[in-house]
Every structure is written in structure tokens, then in C-alpha cells.
């Protein structure tokens, strides 16, 4: 199974309050509160993906089967995450996988998940993250009979 590593890609947003912003705000240009909150979101998502429930295990098993350019390279899972004013993940956007089950598992693991805090006032959404997934150890084998 891949080991999940969180890595902050960018804090992003399109907000009705700021209609002229049409692209990402780099972590260096974003307010410190936004960067800290994006880190909190990243950690919460990494924790969700690392759980031992069936959806998380299936998703990690599927990701283990995705080929990488080099055997030691990390797979990056880019996500756009919308969070409501109560701190609940309301929507997640990502490049769809080739099979429907991992798409449904990722949505089920994240959408509806309550974070420990609501977004800072005025924070632009969605939060753009990239979750890094380290390759599975060489000795690890895929469950027999499981293929996608």
C-alpha cells in the first residue's frame, strides 16, 4: 500500500466577493491564515485516505496499481476542495480514474467530512492541494484476484 504524504500545492480560489481573481494564489502570496488552513485541510484529507475502512483500503490498492514514470517516484493526486462555512467538505474535484469504484470511494471518503475548523473569513475557494503517495514497498503484493 502506498504511504500517503501531504504536500501543499497552492491555495486557490474563486469567490463571489472577488470576481476578478481567476486563478491560483501561490502559498508565498497568500495570507498566512490561508496557508495554515490549507495545511489543515491537506492533513485531514491525508488522514481520511489513510484510514482502515474498506473505501480507503480499496482506493489505496487501486492507486498502487497505477503506473508511475519511475519506480521510486511519488504519485501526485491533485484535488480541488470546497469547504462550507461550517468546515464541512462540500465538493471535491479531481481527474477521474479509469474505473468508477475509486472515484466513488474518493468522493465518499471526503465529501461530508467535517474539518476541525471552518475556513478563515474571506478565504478563496476551492483549496487546491496535491496529495503525494509514495510507492508501495517492493515486497508488498496486491491482494489475489483483485484487479481493476
| Segment 67-113, tens digit of pLDDT | 666 656 677 889 999 999 999 999 999 999 999 999 999 999 999 99
Q: How many domains does the chain have?
A: 1
pLDDT recorded at residue 131:
86
Asked if residue 63 is part of any domain, the answer here is: yes
What pLDDT does 30 receive?
Answer: 87
Residue 146 domain-assigned?
A: no
Any domain includes 142: no
**Within a domain: 64:** yes
Quote the CA–CA distance of 62 and 57 in Å, as a whole number. 9
Could you tell me which residue, 9 or 79, shows the higher pLDDT? 79
Question: Does a structural domain hold residue 125?
Answer: yes
**For a pLDDT cut of 90, what percent of the chain falls above it?**
54
* pLDDT over 70 at 144, yes or no: no
Q: Which range of residues forms the domain containing residue 91? A: 3-17+24-134
pTM of structure: 0.75
Crossing angle of helices 100-110/54-65, nearest 10°? 130
Determine, yes or no, domain membership for 130. Answer: yes
Q: Residue 29 has what pLDDT?
A: 85
Q: Report if residue 144 sits inside a domain.
A: no
Amino acid at each position: 500500500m502506498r504511504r500517503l504524504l501531504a504536500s501543499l500545492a497552492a491555495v486557490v480560489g474563486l469567490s463571489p466577493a472577488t470576481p476578478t481573481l481567476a486563478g491560483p494564489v501561490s502559498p508565498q502570496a497568500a495570507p498566512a491564515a490561508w496557508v495554515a488552513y490549507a495545511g489543515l485541510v491537506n492533513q485531514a484529507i491525508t488522514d481520511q485516505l489513510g484510514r482502515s475502512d474498506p473505501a480507503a483500503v480499496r482506493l489505496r490498492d487501486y492507486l498502487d496499481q497505477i503506473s508511475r514514470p519511475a519506480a521510486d517516484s511519488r504519485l501526485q493526486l491533485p484535488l480541488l476542495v470546497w469547504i462550507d462555512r461550517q468546515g464541512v467538505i462540500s465538493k471535491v474535484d479531481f481527474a477521474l480514474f479509469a474505473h468508477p469504484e475509486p472515484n466513488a470511494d474518493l468522493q465518499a471518503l471526503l465529501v461530508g467530512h467535517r474539518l476541525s475548523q471552518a475556513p478563515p473569513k474571506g478565504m478563496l475557494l476551492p483549496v487546491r492541494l496535491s496529495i503525494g503517495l509514495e510507492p508501495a514497498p517492493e515486497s508488498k503484493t496486491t491482494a489475489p484476484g483483485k484487479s481493476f
